[in-house]
Amino acid sequence: MRVTSARIALVRQQNGYALTVFMRPRQRPGLTAVTRLAAGHLLAFIVAGEVWEIARVRDGPLTAGLFAIAPLTREQGRRLLRA
């Protein structure tokens, strides 16, 4: 699944920063479908040609249309914001 635009926010957390990605409504069904297929498996998030997180989808599909890439340093988060 390719995401060409989304609303994003860099959020400070206890262990660093997270980049929260809010999908556009028309892209949410795609995210739900991909994460439904990935349940129990690893899922990679690739931004600007770099792998930023490989997470195991544990709690079933992401249906709210958002996900986070974490933990990040502040500089990594800023670099992702510019990508």
Return per-residue pLDDT of the chain as tens, 83 residues: 888 788 999 999 998 999 999 999 999 999 999 999 998 888 888 888 888 887 888 878 989 998 888 889 999 999 988 88
Provide the CATH number for the domain around residue 75. 3.30.1360.200
How would you class 79 by CB atoms within 10 Å of its CB: exposed for 0-12, middle for 13-18, buried for 19 or more? middle
Question: What's residue 48's pLDDT?
Answer: 81
Q: Is residue 23 part of a domain?
A: yes
Task: Give residues with Cβ within 8 angstroms of 2, minimum separation 6.
Answer: none
- Provide the residue range defining the domain that includes 27: 6-82
Q: Classify residue 57: in a domain, yes or no.
A: yes
- Statement: the pTM of the whole predicted model exceeds 0.85: no
Task: Assess if residue 1 is contained within a domain.
Answer: no
Strand partners, 19: 10, 69
Question: In the prediction, which pLDDT does 33 show?
Answer: 94
Domain count, the chain: 1
| Structural domain includes residue 54 | yes
